[in-house]
């Protein structure tokens, strides 16, 4: 909205010209999403409590694994609604709504959030840990991923393929395989985020690190001079994604205010699927999908630990970890929940710095 005002009133009133700058709008986007979370948080928490929006798992091993007290099990979930409202509002206010990437991000956040909302709602109604069937949830993610992949294949925002970090001259063309590749990135990122969301503040803290790194990456990718200097692919409209990344950082910090140990609210699948899908889409738009593997390394390892655990048990009848995802393994090894969270935040921060280093080390 404010970007459009700069076009309408910038020539008459010089003060409106400030809304043309991506850097200014990114800062304001982060502040807006953060403040919305802070101010709306108590209201949302109370309303969720009133409606009984909490998840009491009936799985017999859940309490042993998570060491949840009876009080903690009553904490409201579906806090992702708070995050989604904050992000969408910030984008509507500070984003360029004529930018196709911004419009796609809004659609992805809403659609993946809707899939997660249905999953959470079924869990709440059944008072059981299983919501949507895996196939149904997977189909919901694949549908939008396929639509996005086809759109980017028909209307490409650059060479259709995969750029390799650390190498400026290596490019792998994908052709029609680009469509399933986009699907894999979106589905993989959203589910990896979902698997990481198992401790107070863990997933959202790691997201803040990743989104902060991609704020810089998106701005550099959309800047002709910076992208040429860094030898990274230039995407003309990608700079605007810095506003979206900043909104993720702000909303994440605002939600962490209430989700930090001991948590007052959980994001649920409503938040984890929408945030993961949004982060994956941003990496696709700036053609830094492999950098996302580095920056989001904690998410990748959490998902990989589940895959390794299941594969090992099916093939050998033995488990690699005491339990998966990996943060549960650490807890069963005797690590306190707060220590696990903070140490994985540190790892996420270091990985974000390594991901940023790929911009220059080519």
Q: What is the pLDDT of residues 279-308, one digit of tens each?
A: 999 999 999 999 999 999 999 999 999 999
Give kind and range of the element (H or E) at residue 305: helix 297-316
The pLDDT value recorded for residue 134 is 83
Name which of 121, 116, 117, 112 is nearest 147 in CA terms. Answer: 112
The Cβ of residue 82 has, within 10 Å, a number of other Cβ atoms equal to 26
Do 130 and 306 touch, CB atoms closer than 8 A? no
* Whether the predicted pLDDT of 60 surpasses 70: no
Please give the sequence-ordered ranges of beta strands (E in DSSP) within the chain, or none if there are none. Answer: 161-163, 171-173
Q: Which one is predicted more confidently, 19 or 211?
A: 211
Mean pLDDT (whole number) for 334-356: 95
pLDDT per residue as tens digits for the range 30-40: 999 999 999 99
Where b means 16+ CB within 10 Å and e means fewer, 16-42 reads beebeebeebbbbbbbbbbebbbebbe
Is the pLDDT at 62 greater than 60? The verdict is: no
Q: What percent of the chain has pLDDT over 90?
A: 69
DSSP secondary structure code for residue 16 in this structure:
G
Dist CA 282 CA 87 (whole Å): 14
- Beta carbons of 224 and 6 less than 8 angstroms apart: no
Model pLDDT, residue 125: 79
Q: What is the pTM of this model?
A: 0.92
Q: Which range (15-24, 189-198, 233-242) has the least confidence?
A: 15-24
Taking the CB of residue 195, how many other CB atoms lie within 10 A of it?
A: 23
Question: Which tokens hold the place of 295?
Answer: 């920056």
Q: Is the pLDDT at 5 greater than 80, yes or no?
A: no
Cα angle vertex 112, ends 305, 130, to 5°? 55
What's the chain's length in residues? 362
- Better-scored residue on pLDDT, 295 or 322: 295
Residue 18: pLDDT band (50, 70, 90) is: confident
Residue 54 has pLDDT above 90, yes or no: no
Mean pLDDT of the chain: 89
Identify each DSSP E strand in 254-315 by its residue range.
none
62 close to 92: Cβ distance less than 8 angstroms:
no
Neighbours of 313 (CB within 10 A): 13
Are 311 and 317 in contact by the 8 Å Cβ rule? The answer is no
Question: Can you read off the two tokens belonging to residue 294?
Answer: 């580095």
Residue 59 has pLDDT above 60, yes or no: no
Extract the tokens encoding 207: 């997201």
């Amino acid at each position: 909205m404010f970007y459009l005002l700069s076009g309408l009133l910038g020539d008459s009133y010089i003060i409106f010209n400030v809304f043309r700058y991506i850097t200014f709008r990114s800062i304001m986007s982060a502040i807006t999403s953060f403040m919305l979370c802070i101010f709306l948080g108590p209201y949302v928490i109370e309303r969720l409590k009133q409606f009984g929006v909490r998840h009491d798992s009936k799985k017999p091993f859940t309490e042993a694994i998570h060491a949840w007290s009876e009080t903690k099990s009553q904490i409201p979930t579906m806090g992702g609604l708070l995050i989604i409202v904050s992000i969408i509002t910030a984008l509507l206010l500070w984003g360029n709504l004529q930018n196709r990437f911004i419009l796609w991000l809004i659609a992805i956040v809403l659609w993946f959030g809707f899939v997660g909302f249905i999953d959470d709602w079924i869990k709440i109604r059944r008072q059981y840990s299983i919501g949507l069937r895996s196939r149904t949830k997977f189909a919901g993610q694949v549908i939008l991923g396929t639509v996005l992949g086809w759109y980017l294949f028909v209307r490409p925002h650059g060479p259709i393929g995969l750029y390799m970090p650390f190498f400026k001259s290596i490019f792998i063309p994908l052709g029609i395989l680009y469509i399933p590749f986009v699907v894999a990135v979106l589905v993989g990122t959203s589910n990896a985020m979902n698997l990481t969301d198992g401790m107070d503040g863990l997933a959202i803290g790691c997201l803040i690190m990743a989104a902060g790194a991609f704020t810089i990456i998106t701005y550099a990718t959309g800047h002709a001079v910076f992208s040429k200097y860094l030898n990274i692919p230039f995407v003309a409209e990608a700079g605007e994604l810095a506003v979206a990344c900043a909104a993720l950082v702000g909303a994440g910090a605002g939600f962490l205010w209430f989700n930090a140990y001991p948590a007052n609210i959980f994001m649920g699948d409503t938040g984890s699927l929408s945030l993961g899908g949004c982060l994956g889409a941003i990496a696709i738009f700036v053609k830094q999908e492999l950098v996302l593997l580095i920056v989001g390394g904690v998410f990748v390892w959490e998902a990989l630990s589940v895959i390794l655990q299941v594969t090992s048990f099916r093939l050998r009848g033995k488990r690699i970890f005491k339990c998966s995802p990996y943060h549960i393994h650490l807890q069963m090894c005797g690590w306190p929940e707060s220590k696990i969270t903070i140490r994985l935040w540190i790892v996420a921060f270091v990985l974000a710095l390594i991901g940023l280093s790929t911009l220059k080390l080519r």
